[in-house]
A and B are shown apart, each in its own frame.
Chain A
């Protein structure tokens, strides 16, 4: 584990958050449910945590940010905010899965199904074993209907998507666990624990949408009016 200060952000769900983790494992965190205008709340919160670190004479050695899956615009608000700090301070960034972060907050289970609501009747899902120090993926993260990602019982389900689909999860033999007080604080913990190779230059950080844009090229492009 890196014995240094870490600042992390998670904006994959409507509850956005930021956290500052000290080398001794204590953390300051902020989170808020924001339906619109997450950037108006997030950037001042991140600036406040930066100021707090600066006032303590701390040097932030690593940033963590949830890069997906999740709501597209929300993810970009968080990533752009972290990239700004990374560019200004020259600090590397650990990109994190929203699903792994949520699974990490439920340690000690052989099967943790992390879910985020993906709308259109689908979920973003990841299945993890959390009996070790950090979550181990048991399957690729995916964008799918809930029925396709439910594992054999017993399992626990976490994440905002689990709350949305609590009845179906219970019917499949799963148990829904409440989320952590701050997913950003969990993100900061995972960023602190990540091996050095996972910390990327800001220019190399990529979002993981798991879903392509809806755009489809129009069929009449390149055809002049009147042409058959």
Chain B
């Protein structure tokens, strides 16, 4: 089964084709084409209307390129992101994908964008076996799932305010740097002094028992950076980036380790744009080599939004008989597995 996947939930217009692996047991990416929208940089963040306009301009050429590279004229199934995301942006890819399926006369699957991320490590040679912990960490989401089976996901932890990638963007802006902040601060942090300042590692407590939960909060960390910059006008940006990044990685890894202890599940799959962060990757690989976790880290290109993860998730659902009607609507909010 060859599946064409379309992704337009934020600022990447992406299309990909996923088919059977040579042994037939898994999936393999035959083509993965991404058009990254650069128009948002001057606004310091994604502008929904600009994103939607760009998707409408690029979705045809992106899809054609994916089909041509895969050598496929007509896929067996069309999958498209149906949410969560920017509603106007989702609608472009969803309408296009649904009508592609009608035009080709093939079934359609509407894919949850987060589930696409969550399942994308299954495309890797060292794919985790079920059950596994899935950390989806990006500019829009920071959630840790216990993935028991296809469609069976339990949220173990999530952010109560900013997503980790969003915090990166905001700190980058405080430093007068560009957008997106993740890769910029990642590069700046290399030369920074990790002892320049001890930034907080925020803990979210249960409202009743006051016991620490597994959830994250990044707004306090962001405020601490702001106060630091206001108090010290000559501090190096590299030091700020390094101390901020260390704090973010510390709290992400802390919750993962606590969740592994609580569930007894040691397999961890990481995805989302922040999964491309070099410090997070290094820390997780250290834990993998130390035997504390069995970590699957997709290549950086597969961490950010892409069409392959949508085609792959769509393929798994289609193989399981989970198809969607053409009146499927777009959803701005949507928890995977619901």
A and B co-occur in one complex: yes
Instruction: Report how far A83 CA is from B61 CA in the complex, Å.
Output: 11
Assess the B91–A50 pair: CB atoms within 8 A: no
Find chain A residues with CB under 8 A from B94 CB. Answer: 39
Q: Is the CB of A89 within 8 A of B99?
A: no
Cβ contacts under 8 Å, B47 to chain A:
213, 215
B247 within 8 A of A: no
Asked whether B327 lies within 8 Å of A41 as measured between CB atoms, the reply is yes
| Chain A residues, Cβ within 8 Å of B98 | 39, 43, 81, 84
- A224 proximity list for chain B (CB < 8 A): 174-176, 229, 237
Considering only residues 73-90 of chain A, those with a C-beta below 8 Å from chain B are 73, 76-77, 79-89
Query: In the bound complex, do residue A206 and residue B57 qualify as a contact, i.e. CB atoms below 8 Å apart?
Result: yes
CA distance in complex: A86, B63 (Å): 12
Residues 35 to 91 of chain B near chain A (Cβ within 8 Å) = 42-44, 47, 49-50, 52-53, 55-57, 59-61, 63-64, 74, 87-88, 91
State whether B174 touches A225 (Cβ < 8 A). Answer: yes
Q: Is the CB of A39 within 8 A of B329?
A: yes
- Given A72-B88, A225-B229: A87 and B49 within 8 A (CB)? no
- The answer to whether B59 and A80 touch across the interface, beta carbons within 8 angstroms, is yes
Establish whether residues A203 and B61, one from each chain, have CB atoms under 8 Å apart when the complex forms: yes
Q: Mark A184-228, 1 if CB is under 8 A from B, else 0.
A: 000000000000000000110111010001110110111111110
Distance from A130 Cβ to chain B, minimum over Cβ atoms (Å): 30
Contacts of B336 in A (CB 8 A): none
Of B96, B174, B325, B329, the contact of A84 (CB 8 Å cutoff): B96
Chain B contacts for A42, CB-based, 8 A: 95
User: In the complex, what residues of B have CB within 8 A of residue A226's CB?
Assistant: 229-230, 233
Decide if A88 touches B100 in the complex (CB within 8 Å).
yes
Q: A44 near B: Cβ within 8 Å?
A: yes
Query: Within 8 Å CB of A88, what residues of B?
Result: 74, 99-100, 102-104
Min CB–CB distance B40 → chain A (angstroms): 9
Closest A residue to B52 by CB, please name it. A76
Interface contact A217-B43, CB-CB below 8 Å:
yes
In the complex, which residue of chain B has the Cβ closest to the Cβ of A60?
B103
**Known contacts A215-B47, A224-B174; is-contact A83 B59 (Cβ 8 Å):** yes
**Complex contacts, A202 vs chain B, CB 8 Å:** 60
Within 8 A of A (CB), among B189-234: 226, 229-230, 233
Chain A's nearest CB lies how many Å from the CB of B127?
32
Contacting pair B99 A80 (CB below 8 A): yes
Interchain CB contact (< 8 A) of A43 among B88, B176, B237, B327: B327
Q: Pick from A39, A79, A218: contact of B44, CB below 8 A.
A: A218
Whether B49 lies near A47 (C-beta < 8 A) is: no
Contact B103 A76 (CB under 8 A): no
The reply to whether A43 and B229 contact each other, CB–CB distance below 8 Å, is no
Enumerate chain A residues within 8 angstroms of B61, measured Cβ to Cβ: 203
Range of interface residues on B (Cβ < 8 Å): 35 or more
List A residues 31-80 near B (Cβ within 8 Å).
37, 39-44, 46-47, 50, 54, 72-73, 76-77, 79-80
Total contacts A-B at CB 8 Å? 140
Contact of B49 among A50, A203, A215 (CB under 8 A): A215
Q: Using Cβ atoms and an 8 Å threshold, which residues of chain A touch B325?
A: 44
Residues in A neighbouring B88, C-beta threshold 8 A? 72-73, 76
Report whether A80 and B96 are in contact in the complex, using a CB–CB cutoff of 8 Å. yes
Q: Is B97 positioned at the interface, with any CB of A under 8 Å from its CB?
A: yes
Q: What residue of chain B has the Cβ atom nearest to residue A206's Cβ?
A: B57
**Pick from A44, A47, A83: contact of B60, CB under 8 Å:** A83
- Docked Cα-Cα span, A88 to B4, in Å, equals 12
**A42 and B237 alpha carbons, distance in the complex (Å):** 51
Contacts of B178 in A (CB 8 A): 222
Q: B102 — nearest CB in chain A belongs to which residue? A: A47
Q: Would you call A85 and B328 a contact (CB within 8 A)?
A: no
Q: Assess whether A76 is in contact with B56, with CB atoms less than 8 Å apart.
A: yes
Q: How far is the CB of A83 from chain B (nearest CB, A)?
A: 5
Contact A77 B99, beta carbon cutoff 8 Å: no
- Within 8 Å CB of A205, what residues of B? 60
Q: A84-B100, A221-B173 are in contact. Are A40 and B52 (CB under 8 A)?
A: no
Instruction: Judge whether B53 and A213 touch: CB under 8 Å.
Output: yes
Closest partner residue, chain A, to B106 (CB atom):
A88
- Which of B93, B98, B230 gathers the greatest number of chain A CB atoms within 10 Å? B98
A40 touches B327 (CB 8 A): yes
Pick the contact of A72: B49, B59, B93, B226 (CB < 8 A).
B49
| 9 A-B contacts (beta carbon < 8 Å) | A46-B99, A72-B53, A73-B88, A73-B91, A80-B92, A83-B59, A217-B42, A218-B44, A221-B43
Binding site for B on A (CB under 8 A): 37, 39-44, 46-47, 50, 54, 72-73, 76-77, 79-89, 202-203, 205-207, 209, 213-215, 217-218, 220-227
Known: A73-B88, A206-B57, A213-B47. 4 other contacts (CB 8 A): A39-B91, A41-B327, A44-B325, A76-B95
